[in-house]
A and B are shown apart, each in its own frame.
Chain A
Amino acid sequence: MSGQLNPEDALYVDMFIAKNSQTMTFIRSSYSAILGLAAGILGLTNWSGFVFYFVGSAFLSTLVFLVKAKASPGTYFRSPFDVFTEGVLGGLLSYILFWTLLYGIIHVYD
């Protein structure tokens, strides 16, 4: 009612933008837990663990890009590159949690 109308508001459905980023967060956080379990079992230490996480995330991004977004992320995200970046750093913490847990169970307290 006040001020100018923002043309962006009429272009996108806000609810679906939120829904898509929620789906993306779900995929990322589940998969970072799994990557953490794998890193712990492998017994990675130091930088190799972080490299493993980013390589695994890149694999997941490619999978989401091809299967979920059907190779056209522009129809599901405002900026097409979001499909590769969204939630990567957010998943890092749960990755470290599961990484240290499994490393401790298998390689330390045996």
Chain B
Amino acid sequence: MAVQQAPSHLGRLVCLFAFLLLLHSGYSTFEHLSYLKAIDGHESGLPQDIVIELMASVAIFGLGIVMVADDFKEILMETEMAKQTIESLDARPSFYGFSHRGRAVFRNVSFKK
């Protein structure tokens, strides 16, 4: 029932791309702050392009993670039962019979030793 799903390679690629964007914007922020320190400027918000890059990365990451995660299963018993065959239901342990006709039919059979 709980089969392992094949991983989505496209989703992983999207995540990798988003991670590179995140890494780059982080490094850019670091550079920007060191630059401000070098010219003795005071910090007053990040440059617009870094913020936009960061937000794009976060948005793309959301998409990537949603693609990588397994699909939801339909939880209604009705839809699950509709997929199963009658043979698999009949073969349940509850339906095993041990007092069948074999006892009467093979009563006189003797095994050779």
B73: which A residues are within 8 A, CB to CB? Answer: 13, 16, 19-20, 76
| Nearest CB of B to A45, in Å | 12
CB of A59 within 8 A of CB of B59, answer: yes
Interface band, chain A: 35 or more
For the complex, what is the distance from the CA of A68 to the CA of B70, rounded to whole Å? 9
Min C-beta distance of B62 to chain A, whole Å: 5
Asked if A77 and B29 make an inter-chain contact with CB atoms under 8 angstroms apart, the answer reads no
Do A42 and B74 have beta carbons less than 8 Å apart?
no
Indicate whether A5 reaches chain B with its CB closer than 8 angstroms. Answer: no
| Contact A26 B22, beta carbon cutoff 8 Å | no
With an 8 Å Cβ cutoff, the count of chain B residues facing the other chain is 35
Name the interface residues of B77-110: CB closer than 8 Å to any CB of A: 77, 79-80
Does A19 lie within 8 Å of B2, measured CB to CB? yes
| Dominant SS among interface residues on chain A | helix
Q: Which of A17, A59, A107 contacts B62 (CB 8 A)?
A: A59
Q: Which listed residue (B65, B70, B75, B77) contacts A31, Cβ 8 A?
A: B65
Distance in Å from the Cβ of A104 to the closest Cβ of chain B? 12
- Known contacts A41-B25, A63-B66; is A34 also within 8 Å of B77 by CB? no
Of all chain A residues, the one with the shortest Cβ separation from B57 is: A38
Complex contact A11–B76 (CB within 8 A): yes
B20 at interface, CB cutoff 8 A: no
Are B37 and A64 touching (Cβ within 8 A)? no
Return chain A residues, CB-CB under 8 Å to B79.
75
On A, residues with C-beta under 8 Å from B are 10-13, 15-17, 19-20, 23, 26-27, 30-31, 34-35, 37-38, 41-43, 56, 59-60, 63-64, 67-69, 75-78, 102, 106-107, 110
